[in-house]
Amino acid sequence: MSIYNKYPDRIFKLMLLGILLVLPVSINAQELPDIPDIIRVTVDHSDNAVLIQWMPSTDTNIAVYNVYKMNDGGSFVKLFGVSPNQLECKHTNSGLRNLAYAVTAEDNADPSNESVFGQNVHRAVDLSVEFDLCTQSNILHWTAYEGWEGQISGYKIFGGHTGGPLELLKFVQASTTSFTQNEVDVASQYCYYIETVHTSGIVSLSAIDTVATTFPEAPSYLSIDQVSVVDQNTAELRFSADIAGPVTSFRILRRGNPNTPFTEVETRWNVSESSQVVLDQFPTGSLSYQYLIQSVFQPAQCATPLVISESNTGNNILLVNEIHDQMISLNWTPYETYEPGLDLYIVQRRTGSGTFSVVGSVGPLTTQWQEPIVSLINGYQAGEINYRVMALGKANGEGVEGNSYSNITAATVETHMQIPSAFTPGSNDMNFEFKPQIDFAPRKYVMMVMDRGGRKMFETTDPGEGWDGRYQNGEFVNEAIYVYYIQYTDYTGLFRTFTGNVTVLYP
């Protein structure tokens, strides 16, 4: 294929035609042949050969064009000679190193009469690419194209993943010989090449250079296993990780809103146990945090550690309550940690003994539950009713089920009481002692009973304790009218005082 058919550049054709029209009809045989000007040196990416193209010598008695290549040391070695009718050739075993070439013309009458190199040396762009582990970017450096001095309009940078299309990344001015591609994918391979653009529109391609974005091998597993509330100021996060490889450090992150960035809780360097427990301090009754674990690696040459991999996310359950129309309603944030999935939520209520017992359960997609207040009246239930929710995870591959607890939320209800007007001490019926009937016990309570003369018969701060009608020495009092005084503050903060009479009767 001739140079005219292969490179139909209009400017190039006009330039070549003008030179051919002014060729002299004869030359002085004693003079050296006119040097053939090199048009360009470029790499053909289809076969990785170097294409050298030149203008014909103005002399008519050219026997052969000789093609030379510069060695790494700076000297030139002759590659081959070609017919005077040939104005391009390919160097197929160039090794794509030091892409500097020269072309001379050799006289037909005298083979020793050969044009000198002069300024007829062109060197294609030499590109090198390296991966910067610290910034996670690919950095390109290249040498300027030699032979087009003052006639380079700029360089086009092409690149992409190996095996994929190489797209134009940027066009830079002729004075620029470097470029950085940021935020490259890890554990990938990239290819790049530089296209030098002549002011006439002719281009020269560099060889394609490849680079691997090699990172330390990530842990084979990294998982948040559980986030559970310990008390009103502490949440416990458990995670597990593979520490058999080069990455054994982990950063714990949290955020309060899914639309905000994560912030660091702490970083654990060079851990020796695959299972880790983190205690995070915050008001668990008012905040829910989403957690994330990153495996990190600190190269000696980097100012900051590198993030190698990330875990699943996990959050503590935030449980709240509200009372409306004599119903206690519980609502909570959905739990998202267990990778095997969530089985159900179990609702627990604190009993009078201080322990929690199960009072209900809902499916994994439900985050609310309610019960009527009236169902809780039992004569001793305090006006502060404590609940918590437990997320029950499905069994993992080892048959272990995960359990994570929410914070404890307290539903507060008003205290109401009915005070009897008489009772029968020592009897076998239900009216053997004087005690108000209370639906929910108050937070603070005091009751005193006095006779008509103001002498104290009885006093208690326990709303479950009544007066059995005895003096302090153990004898029953006489039938008479006595005066009581009751004062309490319930769990809603309501303060009340009652004063009245109670009659002691005997059968």
pLDDT, tens only, 398-439? 666 778 999 999 999 999 999 999 999 998 888 999 999 999
DSSP state at residue 54:
E
- Residue 138 clears pLDDT 70, i.e. is over it: yes
- Residue 153 clears pLDDT 80, i.e. is over it: yes
Mean pLDDT of 303-332: 95
Domain match, 9 and 118 both: yes
- Residue 10 clears pLDDT 90, i.e. is over it: no
Rounded to an integer, what distance in angstroms lies between the CA atom of residue 126 and that of residue 177? 10
Query: pLDDT band at 353, cuts 50/70/90?
Result: confident
- Residue 141 clears pLDDT 90, i.e. is over it: yes
- Residue 484 clears pLDDT 60, i.e. is over it: yes
Name the least confident of 19-28, 181-190, 336-345: 19-28
Query: pLDDT band at 500, cuts 50/70/90?
Result: very high
Rounded to an integer, what distance in angstroms lies between the CA atom of residue 395 and that of residue 118? 81
Q: What is the pLDDT of residue 239?
A: 94
Residue 237: how many other CB atoms lie within 10 Å: 24
Domain match, 311 and 325 both: no
- Residue 171 clears pLDDT 90, i.e. is over it: yes
Mean pLDDT of 469-479: 92
CATH of the domain at 482: 2.60.40
Q: What is the pLDDT of residue 119?
A: 74
- Residue 16 clears pLDDT 50, i.e. is over it: no
Mean pLDDT of 218-223: 94
Closest Cα partner for 138 from 99, 71, 191, 64? 191
Rounded to an integer, what distance in angstroms lies between the CA atom of residue 79 and that of residue 40? 17
One-letter amino acid at 107 equals D
Domain match, 110 and 16 both: yes
User: Exposed, middle or buried by CB within 10 Å (0-12, 13-18, 19+), for 451?
Assistant: middle
Q: Give the Cα-Cα-Cα angle 266, 267, 270 (nearest 5 degrees).
A: 150
Higher pLDDT: 337 or 148? It is 148
Rounded to an integer, what distance in angstroms lies between the CA atom of residue 460 and that of residue 486? 10
Query: pLDDT band at 118, cuts 50/70/90?
Result: confident
Query: pLDDT band at 47, cuts 50/70/90?
Result: very high
Instruction: Calculate the CA 370 to chain-centre distance.
Output: 37
Mean pLDDT, the chain, whole residue set? 90
Highest mean pLDDT among 63-67, 185-189, 319-323, 469-473: 319-323
Assess contact for 308 and 296: CB atoms under 8 A: yes
Residue 252 lies in a domain: yes
Domain match, 156 and 73 both: no
Mean pLDDT of 17-32: 46
Residue 214 CB partners (closer than 8 Å, separation 6+): 131, 133, 187
Rounded to an integer, what distance in angstroms lies between the CA atom of residue 174 and that of residue 145? 9
β 495-504/422-423 pair status: parallel
Domain that holds residue 81: 3-123
Residue 217 lies in a domain: no
Mean pLDDT of 323-349: 92
Query: pLDDT band at 41, cuts 50/70/90?
Result: very high
Q: What is the pLDDT of residue 117?
A: 73
Q: What is the pLDDT of residue 438?
A: 94
Q: What is the pLDDT of residue 2?
A: 39
Residue 102 lies in a domain: yes
Domain match, 295 and 363 both: no
Residue 237 CB partners (closer than 8 Å, separation 6+): 224, 226, 227, 252, 277, 278, 279, 280, 291, 314
Domain match, 91 and 9 both: yes
Q: Provide Rg for the chain, Cα atoms.
A: 46
Residue 470 CB partners (closer than 8 Å, separation 6+): 425, 476, 477
Residue 423 lies in a domain: yes
Domain count, the chain: 5
Strand partners, 376: none
Tokens 């502060």: give the residue: 384
Assess contact for 456 and 446: CB atoms under 8 A: no
List C-alpha distances in Å: 499 to 134, 421, 482, 487.
79, 12, 11, 9
CATH of the domain at 284: 2.60.40.10
Mean pLDDT of 135-162: 96
Q: What is the pLDDT of residue 339?
A: 76
Assess contact for 126 and 149: CB atoms under 8 A: no
Assess contact for 444 and 427: CB atoms under 8 A: no
Residue 89 lies in a domain: yes
Residue 378 lies in a domain: yes
Closest Cα partner for 223 from 339, 395, 307? 339
Q: What percent of the chain has pLDDT over 90?
A: 78
Assess contact for 387 and 332: CB atoms under 8 A: no
- Residue 74 clears pLDDT 50, i.e. is over it: yes
Q: What is the pLDDT of residue 425?
A: 95
Closest Cα partner for 216 from 193, 246, 240? 246
Domain boundary among 212, 236, 267: 212
Tokens 């949290």: give the residue: 254
Domain match, 7 and 114 both: yes
Mean pLDDT of 193-218: 96
Q: What is the pLDDT of residue 399?
A: 64
Domain boundary among 170, 194, 212: 212
- Residue 446 clears pLDDT 90, i.e. is over it: yes
Rounded to an integer, what distance in angstroms lies between the CA atom of residue 243 and that of residue 271? 8
Q: Give the Cα-Cα-Cα angle 246, 247, 249 (nearest 5 degrees).
A: 140
Instruction: Say whether pTM exceeds 0.85.
Output: no
Domain match, 435 and 408 both: no
Q: What is the pLDDT of residue 468?
A: 95
Mean pLDDT of 276-280: 97
Domain boundary among 315, 349, 380: 315
Report helix, strand or coil for 49. Answer: strand
Q: What is the pLDDT of residue 423?
A: 96
Mean pLDDT of 372-401: 86
Domain match, 113 and 141 both: no
